[in-house]
Chain A
Amino acid sequence: MQIQYFLLLAAALFCIGIYGLITSRNAVRVLMSIELLLNAVNLNLMAFSNFLDSVAIKGQVFTVFVITVAAAEAAVGLAIVLAIYRNRDTVDMEQFNLLKW
């Protein structure tokens, strides 16, 4: 077990999240991709706190904060999606291109 594998796994998860973030047309899936990104970050934090800072484990504290903030952010995100849905009757990201040039 080495730190690199954790980091690589986290990076892979991050990249999958990015891919989902950029390509999804459903707004809820975009929020889900963001969750993936945050979980990839949490993996990193946990790996670092385990291998580099196993005494003070500040990384784990960070992770707790990130999970908390992620939950709050998901709530606000879903609220925004709901608000948009009420107005425009769709959650298709490609229909939300009103603020262009």
Chain B
Amino acid sequence: MAHFLLETVWLVPCYALSGALLAVPWSPGIIKRTGPRPAGYINLVMTFLAFIHSAFVLPITWNQLPYEISIPWLSTAGLNLSIDLEISSLSVGAMVVITGLNLLAQIFAVGYMEMDWGWARFYSLLGLFEAGLCALALCNSLFFSYVILEILTLGTYLLVGLWFSQPLVVTGARDAFLTKRVGDLFLLMGVLAIWSQAGTWNYTDLAEWATTANVNPTLITLTCLALIAGPMGKCAQFPLHLWLDEAMEGPVPSTILRNSVVVATGAWVLIKLQPVFSLSPIATSAMVAIGVVTAVGGSLIAIAQVDIKRCLSYSVSAYMGMIFFAVGTQQDEAALLLVLTHALASALLVMSTGAIVWNSITQDVSLLGGLWSRRPVSGLAYIVGTLGLIGFPPLGGFWALLKLASGLWTTQPWLVGVIIIVNTLTAFSLTREFSLIFGGKPKQMSDRSPEVSWQMALPTIILLGFTLHLPLVLQSLSLLPTWETLNKDVGLLLMWSSIFGCTIASVVYLSNVIPKPIRFPLKPLQDLLAYDFYTPKLYRVSIVFTVAMISKLADMIDRLIFDGIVNLVGLVSILSGESLKYSTSGQTQFYAFTVLLGVGILGMVVSWQHWGSYLLNLMF
């Protein structure tokens, strides 16, 4: 039985995919008489099945060698593409997290999407995402990882654009697709370039190749930079981060999935490719630089937001930035741990704020307030999510950050400083959001705000439990450092930075010392952060402007020059016909003249050899 379950674990993505397909008939255009709800229930069952299956397989894979499956896909001359699957405790663990979070997000959506008719579309896209993510977790081939990433990019477009009658949704979905697509295309360049060097796309083989590879440093650097660009777009890293902000226009349940898991797809590929990146010091330092800039920038921007969802989305970018420099400094395990703890905590935060939004309508934190006494469950979930995300023992985020920081303690202490700063800033921004939503006095929008129904409360509480139990789980898997090996300086630093950030934010926002709304002494700086460093404008004046201008120019060249040349041929024929017809003058004498002229010239040509040379001699 156990063996059977292990061998069929590749079915997990198929469950989700079949759920996605089965949901389609409940589209309003197909089944018109019943409501759209069965689509959701089918997907819940399928996701539950996937979750159970992967959860059963997880203990089987524990302490076992990875079990590999290779399914031939395409074989042409000189190229054998096979779908390589790796069933290790890591990949199955990732599937457990994905299916578990998706199950919770889908239950949440049953409540959240109650007054929406578009369940078929929504749930089939969630199912597609789950299938794609599970397939990515299992996939051990760079090529098929790329394929899945592209499918998920399309999925993001459709899921963000769920409510396409809203203009901001349409632009947000457009940006999400194009930004991620640009990254993916660079990734494709990298994928193709690595084939010519390593001759394989299998991650295991790539890692083996990288240990002994002797390659041109420039070539491998360019390849690695291209391989970084894909995850850079996926993980919403600077400067490809605007899409995540705009993707917050989509429905909340999908945001749960996106903020926690979908952005981690890039990190997953990045971690898998880490051995290759270690070949190029420039690429790793680029990764560190991108990560640092995003982590600090993202957490600063998150502080200056007023939109409840955007406050969180920039923290997501910041944490993905930390994963970037974790991978850049060869801290794979810390990066994976960070992905796990971030996924749980971030999902919890989005669920909590989603529940607030559902009953309070507004997403503007400056219009909310005083919900703590009436929304204890959401408030507690928010607190636990916050503590699970920032470095606060004993919750998960602390251990991930500790592992990362202690790994860097001796080699790159300045990165530890970055972690501390990001941790402080994130603690500040999350506490600020908490204080604005739950603290203070009720405002008009939050005057009457009942707690949400059980469909939304239940997954929140379950996830809250998971977040709280994460340290115990890590303990039982002996993933936590023992007391002797614990780097106590780093631990204390992290703890104090969190406490510092939380305290400052509570003092600033919960006391009446500073008048609200808070004005930063430097107004331009506050605006700069609130408007996300004016990234939309930057895009518009740089890339979008350039591409638009080149397109207009190309269009003009096409219309004027190329069309013109072809049209000119026609025009010349028409004009020559129009003008040459006047040779038919209607005068018989003119015809006679042309006849004689023709005969005369012909006669001259024919008899040229008899008198031509004579004439020439006479003339010259």
Contact = CB atoms under 8 A, between A and B. Distances in A.
Nearest to B581: A101
Interface in B546-590: 581-582, 584-589
A18 interface: yes
B584 to A, nearest CB: 5
A21 B592 contact: yes
B219 interface: no
Nearest to B587: A97
B596 interface: yes
A97 B590 CA distance: 10
A45 B122 CA distance: 104
A22 interface: yes
Contacts of B582: 101
B589 A100 contact: no
B593 interface: yes
Contact of A93 (B584, B589, B593, B596): B589
Contacts of A18: 596
B589 A21 contact: yes
B584 A101 contact: yes
A96 interface: yes
For B584, B585, B588, the residue with the greatest tally of chain A CB atoms inside 10 Å of its CB is: B588
A93 B589 CA distance: 8
Contacts of B588: 93, 96
A22 B586 contact: no
A100 B586 CA distance: 4
B589 A99 contact: no
A22 B585 contact: no
A94 interface: yes
Interface residues of B, number: 11
B590 to A, nearest CB: 8
A77 to B, nearest CB: 12
A18 B596 CA distance: 9
A34 B586 CA distance: 20
Nearest to A100: B586
A19 to B, nearest CB: 10
Interface string B299-321: 00000000000000000000000
A23 B588 CA distance: 11
B592 A94 contact: no
A22 B592 contact: yes
A14 B107 CA distance: 111
A96 B587 CA distance: 7
Contacts of B593: 22
Contacts of B596: 18, 22
A93 B581 contact: no
A12 B582 CA distance: 32
Nearest to B583: A101
B587 A94 contact: yes
Interface in A25-55: 30
A93 B587 contact: yes
A21 B590 CA distance: 10
Nearest to B586: A100
A100 B581 CA distance: 9
Contacts of A101: 581-582, 584-586
A98 interface: yes
A24 B589 CA distance: 9
B584 A22 contact: no
A22 B587 CA distance: 10
A30 B592 CA distance: 11
B591 to A, nearest CB: 10
Interface of B: 581-582, 584-589, 592-593, 596
Given A96-B586, A100-B586, 15 more contacts: A21-B592, A22-B589, A22-B596, A30-B589, A93-B587, A96-B587, A96-B588, A97-B587, A99-B586, A100-B584, A100-B587, A101-B581, A101-B582, A101-B584, A101-B585
8 contacts: A21-B589, A22-B593, A24-B589, A93-B588, A96-B587, A96-B588, A97-B585, A97-B586
The 3 A-B pairs of least Cβ separation, nearest first, read: A100-B586, A97-B586, A101-B581
